[in-house]
């Protein structure tokens, strides 16, 4: 006989209610199962009857007990693979599991179901499952198993079941121990003061609290205790006493605080605590103490000043107090109201660590639930929570058939596929800028598409909200952001508010309306729109076709008209040209005759190109007669007679000769007279005669003088003069006038030997010349009269070109018309091509054929549209009405009033912080989820991960253990890790303290990211993915970050425009240019060469001053680049990051000192915050203040655990920059430090001088400058 598994329904209502909730949840998200429950009254009972078959069946059981209490009971999980009742309704990878307990105190045990869930569907048992083959029998009421039937629940089975959670159980004991330690620590360290009033000092960004205590000494003690601590306001519920701060001894001693506000720190100095007397209190304040049970007899009162948090400083600094704009005033009031409403009117101020008091209770409850398998929806969590090798690997990696985000790279797609495929656990490491949030957003949509519910959690509120904001709004996704109303809601960022409350419903309505439109209304509307567009196209095309025809017809007409007018113009032009030619010829002839007349009249030059009239030949003939007088004429009569073209030249030359002769006739007559006087002898010139006469006179005078003085000198002169006279008388002169050169025998006149003979010859020639002159004058007179008559006869009118011009104008007009018409035709043809392309026709396609084809397409579409309209005639009005309702402005708000109790339970994406109260989920009707995705997991402690991990069947951990580690308490400083607090206690010499090295070593794994690191290092590739392609940083900045990632990061968009618009030039160097995106300002020494030591409370005024000057300079450059609030691109975003909140305050003060007392800038939007608050953010420009500088040499041995050397913090700070990174830090503090860097792909870590490598690279690239050089650049 085969064995039997007996089962019985619990008699406890809360167990049956849980089963009902489990089943309702499954049916809600897997509606295909609903067919199995049609007509059933009790769905749980029906399900259990189906799940436990009566026939013998193979099943797999697992021991889920975290504590080995097998002598009492065993928490048991039962899975039946390929269940005959359910396999047709579930996907091949899923099956049902029923979880319950097996009571070991009876000899006839049975199985009591307590939970129903969906799990994997492996055919073979896993390592933590044991195979059983049995039948199943239900026990009703008080019935017990029949002892005659073999019971499968026996001691042998109990011994055979693998104890999969032993390691988890040990770890949980350590967790409990740690929570007890933390509770004791809070009690030991906590100091609190009661306050009865407050006001806000906007100028100093401080909250003033009116505090009271038993005496002034207690107030002063509290002030000292508050130093270097992040403080927080709590309402009165935090303390068991309304006046003296005292935490409850037991969990239920006091109600949970309803409201609180995280603050900053107090500053040192006497003004922090200003004592006042009771009489100076207001009447309302005195009344509070009179009405309440005020316990202090000698009470002291004082105003305590506390800095507000950096987040609130940034928000409140954005208030524009000078603007009168109505919208700006409204926004200002919104910010102020948001701040004020978070401040309890009365309460206590204490360490922010006190805020963990309630969290400790929740974490203890989670551990207890996990041990008892209560409220844990991951039945096998205990098996793989600390041992990733126990997590089930997928049989294969599922492919994705549709990506919501098509821009995912290969690694991101691989990460999403592994997230979808992992049965139990998947780990994603996302270094800065690699898009892990994008991966989360895609995975959530993929899970929603598969009908799975997702819990999104993170230690940080902004990380949750950032991930939510990246998710596309799809109808299959119903997302809601949950947080405790009084405290958590205030921490929901602007990105997350659209998913909270009625905004979540409104967002879902938007998605539904859009989907309704896309699936039902838009197709018909699109078809109608396409038809309308096609009809419009056809109408326009037909008009265009007609326009083209008319245009081409008109073009042809203009062309023909133009040809006709061109022929007429040609004829008219020819006629005009002939008339013009004749007119020009007449003018030319007349001009030549006039010039000839003027020439003959000696009034003008000779027209050398003119043709001589016949009557002028007589003049030439007369002039040729000069030959008779032996005048040298270079031409002959025949030359003149037979060369008409040269006649004018010859005549002109003859006249030239004649005019020379005629002009010298008087000279010739005078020379004849001289010749006559000379007689037969030679001719002596007048000059010679005068010279002879002068010499005779001189000789006579010298003779007279010699009678008186017969000296040799006088005698010598007398003899020379006589000799000269004799020579003159013996020589003969000639006729030297140039006119004699005109004669053929010109040499005859140069030396006259016989003057009488020459005189006779000249007389004969003179007679010839006189005859020529007489004949020439008479003939010239006749010729001139004839020329004048001819000139008078040569008259003609200028040709009229009016007709020609008119015809030219007509032809030109026709040509312009033709060109315009041709351009019009071309434009219309271009429109025709555009029109064809608009309908995806080929350019060569016939236009009319395209019109006809489109008309047919319109007809087909109209037929389809009519069919679609007829088919949906009953639904379309409903769809349209539904869409209109969804789009109503206040519809979501109105519906929320009705749906707020049930809507969260029907959401398939719920986002909470890791530290959210469990009650927040249960109050919303939410129990288990299919998947939990925990973002920024490295910032959460293992205890913080426990609550969300227990809420889902499958977990996905996303983070980066090379970024910020968990903080021991919620704080803005980088110095609030558990190790930091221990070191501070040791430095201060505290003896009575729990913060010891021993306790740190004991609980180290509870306060570090070691769990994620351990899981990721040991996980198989199918369960993990590392993203290495980053898109945020310029490659120069990425190289800095890559030192922390063994060079594995690559830039996915190196060609992206990353202009930063900043230029800084010192006297000799370019510090920042458009090509430089990184600069390290070494603050080891100031401008005077003195060490820039950090000061009290981790501040560095020198770095603050440098940053302030840099911001002023950057603001001026951004103004020139066009950045401002009114421009579309707005102000340039600039981030200022420090590890210490106190330094943020010093930076603010430095900005005010150089910026006219203001923190606002015209062109840059500056956010000043600690690195803790900057994780997950990014800015185009980042300035980092590292603060610490002990003034010692770089070779001085320093701890590798110091904040300034902690690579996780520097990694996060530097990786916030997109386009420009400027680091202000003392080189001597970092360069020689050892960094303990975890290995990327293997277990363990190694000690490296990372910063030395960084500085070596910066030196090579000249990216390090001194304080002095930087100040020069800022003030240039």
Lowest mean pLDDT among 317-326, 545-554, 1204-1213: 317-326
pLDDT surpasses 80 at 975: no
- pLDDT for position 372: 62
Distances (CA, A) of 858 to 7, 434, 528, 848: 68, 49, 10, 15
pLDDT digits (tens, 9 = 90+) for 399-425: 999 999 999 999 999 999 999 999 999
- pLDDT for position 686: 66
Q: Model confidence at 1247, in pLDDT bands (50, 70, 90)?
A: confident
E strands, 1083-1156, in order: 1132-1138
pLDDT digits (tens, 9 = 90+) for 421-430: 999 999 999 9
The residue with tokens 């007890």 is 180
Candidates 444, 502, 434; CA nearest to 468 is 444
In the chain, the percentage of residues whose pLDDT exceeds 90 is 35
E strands, 64-93, in order: 73-79
C-alpha 454/C-alpha 908 separation (Å) is: 6
Relative to beta strand 454-458, strand 909-913 is parallel
pLDDT surpasses 60 at 973: no
pLDDT surpasses 90 at 926: no
- pLDDT for position 180: 83
- pLDDT for position 519: 84
Class of domain 1029-1275: alpha beta
Lowest mean pLDDT among 108-122, 736-750, 850-864: 736-750
- pLDDT for position 292: 65
The residue with tokens 């049956």 is 16
pLDDT surpasses 50 at 972: no
E strands, 436-557, in order: 454-458, 479-481
C-alpha 609/C-alpha 645 separation (Å) is: 8
Lowest mean pLDDT among 86-95, 422-431, 1044-1053, 1133-1142: 86-95
pLDDT surpasses 80 at 1243: no
Task: Give me the mean pLDDT over the 641-649 stretch.
Answer: 89
In this structure, the dihedral spanned by the alpha carbons of residues 60, 65, 71 and 73, taken in order and rounded to 10 degrees, is -70
C-alpha 745/C-alpha 631 separation (Å) is: 9
As a whole number, the mean pLDDT across the chain is 85
Task: Give me the mean pLDDT over the 696-702 stretch.
Answer: 84
- pLDDT for position 249: 66
C-alpha 302/C-alpha 289 separation (Å) is: 15
Q: Model confidence at 47, in pLDDT bands (50, 70, 90)?
A: very high
Distances (CA, A) of 139 to 47, 58, 101, 1072: 15, 20, 15, 82
- pLDDT for position 489: 44
Task: Give me the mean pLDDT over the 434-445 stretch.
Answer: 94
Q: Model confidence at 1005, in pLDDT bands (50, 70, 90)?
A: low
Q: How many CB atoms lie within 10 A of CB 465?
A: 24
Candidates 620, 598, 581, 647; CA nearest to 791 is 598
- pLDDT for position 950: 87
- With beta carbons less than 8 A apart as the criterion, state whether 939 and 957 touch: no
Of 153-162, 795-804, 1090-1099, 1101-1110, the range with the highest mean pLDDT is 1101-1110
The residue with tokens 């309460």 is 347
- pLDDT for position 924: 86
pLDDT surpasses 60 at 1076: yes
Q: Which two tokens stand for residue 504?
A: 């979540």
pLDDT surpasses 80 at 170: no
Task: Give me the mean pLDDT over the 13-32 stretch.
Answer: 88
Lowest mean pLDDT among 24-33, 321-330, 1099-1108, 1224-1233: 321-330
Distances (CA, A) of 711 to 707, 717, 724: 10, 10, 21
Tell me how many degrees the CA angle 451-915-1215 measures, rounded to the nearest 5: 85
Please name every residue paired with 1136 in a beta bridge, in sequence order, or none if there are none: 1168, 1183
Distances (CA, A) of 155 to 102, 125, 161, 1067: 11, 20, 10, 88
CATH topology of domain 381-501+900-966+1008-1026: Rossmann fold (3.40.50)
pLDDT digits (tens, 9 = 90+) for 533-587: 999 999 998 998 899 999 999 999 999 999 999 999 899 889 888 888 888 888 8
Distances (CA, A) of 31 to 27, 28, 508: 5, 6, 20
Cut 0.75: pTM above it: no
Query: To 10 degrees, what angle do helices 410-421 and 436-449 make?
Result: 40
Task: Give me the mean pLDDT over the 993-1003 stretch.
Answer: 68
Candidates 204, 199, 495; CA nearest to 340 is 199
- pLDDT for position 488: 41
- With beta carbons less than 8 A apart as the criterion, state whether 306 and 350 touch: no
- pLDDT for position 981: 64
In the chain, the percentage of residues whose pLDDT exceeds 70 is 91
pLDDT digits (tens, 9 = 90+) for 496-527: 889 998 999 999 999 999 998 888 888 888 88
């Amino acid at each position: 006989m085969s064995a039997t598994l007996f089962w019985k329904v619990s008699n406890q209502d809360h167990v049956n209610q849980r089963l009902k909730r489990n089943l309702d949840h499954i049916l809600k998200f897997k509606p295909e199962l609903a067919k199995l429950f049609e007509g059933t009254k009790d769905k749980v009972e029906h399900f259990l009857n189906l799940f436990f078959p009566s026939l013998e069946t193979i099943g797999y059981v697992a021991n889920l007990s975290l504590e080995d209490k097998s002598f009492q009971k065993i928490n048991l999980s039962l899975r039946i693979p390929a269940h005959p009742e359910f396999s047709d309704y579930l996907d091949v990878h899923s099956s049902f599991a029923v979880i319950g307990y097996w009571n070991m105190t009876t000899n006839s045990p049975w199985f009591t179901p307590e939970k129903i869930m969906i799990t994997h569907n492996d055919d073979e048992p896993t390592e933590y499952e044991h195979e059983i083959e049995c039948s199943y029998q239900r026990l009703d009421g008080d019935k017990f198993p029949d002892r005659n039937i073999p019971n499968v629940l026996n001691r042998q089975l109990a011994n055979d079941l693998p104890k999969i959670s032993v390691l988890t159980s040990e770890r949980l004991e350590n967790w409990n121990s740690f929570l007890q330690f933390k509770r004791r620590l809070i009690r030991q360290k906590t100091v609190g003061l009661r306050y009865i009033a407050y006001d806000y000092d906007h100028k100093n960004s401080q909250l003033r609290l009116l505090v009271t205590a038993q005496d002034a000494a207690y107030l002063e003690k509290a002030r000292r205790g508050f130093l270097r601590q992040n403080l927080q306001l709590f309402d009165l519920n935090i303390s068991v006493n309304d006046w003296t701060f005292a935490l409850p001894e037991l969990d239920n001693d006091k109600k949970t605080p309803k409201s609180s506000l995280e603050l900053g720190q107090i500053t040192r100095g006497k003004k922090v605590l200003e004592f006042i007397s009771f009489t100076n209190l207001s009447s309302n304040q005195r009344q509070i103490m009179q009405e309440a049970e005020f316990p202090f007899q000698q009470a002291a009162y004082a105003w305590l000043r506390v800095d507000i948090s950096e987040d609130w400083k940034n928000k409140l600094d954005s208030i524009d107090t000078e603007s009168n704009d109505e919208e700006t005033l409204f926004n200002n009031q919104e910010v102020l109201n948001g701040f004020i409403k978070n401040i309890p009117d009365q309460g206590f101020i204490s360490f922010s660590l006190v805020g963990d008091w309630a969290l400790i209770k929740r974490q203890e409850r989670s551990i207890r639930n996990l041990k008892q398998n209560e409220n844990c929806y991951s039945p096998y969590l205990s098996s793989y929570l600390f041992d990733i090798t126990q997590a089930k690997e997928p049989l294969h990696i599922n492919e994705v058939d549709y990506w919501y985000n098509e821009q995912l790279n290969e690694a991101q797609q691989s990460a999403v596929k592994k997230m979808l495929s992992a049965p139990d656990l998947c780990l994603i490491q996302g270094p800065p800028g690699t898009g892990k949030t994008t991966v989360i957003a895609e995975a959530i949509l993929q899970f929603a598409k598969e009908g799975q519910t997702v819990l999104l959690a993170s230690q940080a509120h902004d990380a949750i909200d950032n991930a939510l904001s990246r998710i596309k709004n799809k109808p299959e996704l119903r997302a809601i952001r949950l947080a405790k109303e009084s405290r958590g809601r205030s921490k929901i960022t602007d990105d997350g508010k659209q998913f909270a409350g009625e905004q979540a419903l409104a967002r879902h309505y938007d998605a539904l309306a859009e989907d309704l439109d896309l699936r039902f209304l838009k197709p018909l509307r699109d078809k109608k729109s396409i038809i309308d567009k096609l009809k419009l196209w056809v109408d326009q095309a037909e008009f265009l076709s007609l326009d083209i025809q008319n245009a081409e017809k008109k073009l042809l007409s203009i062309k023909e008209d133009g040809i006709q007018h061109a022929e007429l113009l040609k004829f008219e032009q020819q006629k005009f040209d002939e008339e013009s030619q004749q007119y020009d010829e007449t003018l030319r002839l007349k001009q030549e005759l006039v010039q000839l007349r003027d020439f003959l009249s000696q009034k003008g030059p000779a027209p050398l190109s003119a043709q001589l009239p016949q009557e002028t030949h007589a003049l030439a003939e007369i002039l040729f007669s000069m030959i008779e007088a032996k005048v040298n004429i270079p031409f002959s009569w025949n030359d003149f007679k037979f060369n008409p073209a040269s006649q004018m030249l010859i005549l002109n030359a003859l006249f030239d000769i004649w005019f020379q002769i005629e002009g010298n006739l008087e000279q010739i007559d005078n020379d004849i007279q001289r010749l006559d006087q000379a007689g037969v002898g030679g001719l002596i010139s007048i000059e010679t005669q005068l010279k002879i006469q002068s010499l005779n006179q001189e000789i006579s005078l010298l003779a007279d003088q010699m009678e008186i003085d017969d000296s040799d000198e006088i005698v010598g002169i007398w003899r020379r003069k006589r000799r000269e006279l004799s020579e003159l008388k013996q020589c003969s002169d000639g006729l030297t006038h140039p006119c004699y050169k005109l004669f053929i025998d010109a040499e005859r006149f140069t030396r006259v030997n016989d003057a009488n003979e020459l005189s006779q010859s000249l007389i004969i020639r003179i007679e010839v010349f006189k005859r020529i002159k007489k004949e020439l004058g008479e003939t010239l007179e006749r010729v001139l009269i004839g020329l004048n008559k001819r000139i008078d006869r040569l008259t003609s009118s200028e040709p009229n070109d009016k007709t020609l011009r008119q015809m030219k104008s007509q032809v030109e007009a026709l040509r312009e018309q033709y060109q315009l018409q041709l351009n019009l035709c071309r434009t219309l043809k271009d429109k025709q091509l555009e029109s064809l392309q608009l309908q995806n026709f080929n350019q060569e396609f016939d236009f009319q054929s395209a019109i006809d084809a489109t008309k047919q397409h319109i007809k087909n579409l109209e037929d389809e549209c009519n069919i679609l309209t007829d088919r949906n005639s009953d639904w379309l009005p409903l769809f349209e009405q539904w869409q209109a309702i969804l789009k109503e402005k206040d519809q979501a708000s109105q519906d929320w009033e009705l749906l707020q109790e049930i809507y969260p339970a029907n959401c398939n994406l719920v986002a909470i912080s890791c530290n959210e109260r469990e009650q927040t989920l249960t109050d919303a009707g939410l129990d288990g989820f299919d998947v939990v995705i925990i973002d920024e997991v490295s910032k959460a402690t293992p205890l913080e991960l426990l609550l969300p991990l227990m809420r889902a069947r499958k977990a996905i951990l996303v983070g980066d253990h090379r970024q910020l580690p968990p903080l021991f308490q919620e704080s803005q400083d980088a110095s609030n890790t558990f190790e930091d607090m221990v070191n501070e206690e040791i430095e201060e010499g505290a003896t009575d303290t729990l913060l010891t090295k021993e306790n740190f070593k004991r609980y180290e794994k509870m306060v570090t990211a070691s769990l994620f690191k351990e899981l990721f290092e040991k996980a198989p590739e199918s369960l993990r993915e590392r993203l290495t392609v980053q898109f945020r940083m310029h490659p120069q900045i990425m190289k800095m970050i890559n030192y922390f990632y063994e060079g594995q990061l690559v830039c996915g968009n190196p060609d992206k425009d990353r202009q930063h618009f900043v230029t800084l030039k010192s006297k000799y160097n370019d510090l920042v240019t458009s090509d430089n995106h990184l600069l390290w300002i070494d603050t080891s020494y100031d401008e005077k060469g003195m060490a820039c030591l950090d000061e009290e409370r981790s501040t560095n005024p020198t770095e603050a001053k440098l940053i302030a000057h840099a911001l002023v300079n950057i603001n001026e450059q951004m103004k020139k680049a066009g950045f401002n609030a009114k421009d579309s691109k707005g102000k340039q975003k600039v981030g200022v990051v420090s590890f210490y909140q106190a330094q943020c305050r010093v930076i603010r003060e430095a900005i005010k000192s150089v910026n006219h007392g203001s923190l606002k800038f015209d062109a840059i939007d500056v956010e000043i915050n600690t690195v803790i608050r900057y994780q997950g953010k990014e800015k185009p420009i980042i300035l980092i203040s590292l603060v610490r500088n002990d003034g010692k040499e770089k070779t001085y041995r320093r701890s590798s655990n110091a904040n300034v050397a902690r690579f996780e913090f520097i990694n996060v700070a530097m990786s916030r920059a997109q386009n420009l990174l400027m680091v202000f830090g003392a080189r001597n503090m970092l360069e020689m430090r050892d960094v303990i860097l975890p290995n990327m792909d293997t277990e363990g870590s190694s000690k490296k001088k990372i910063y030395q490598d960084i500085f070596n690279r910066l030196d090579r690239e000249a990216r390090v400058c001194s304080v002095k050089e930087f100040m020069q650049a800022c003030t240039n």
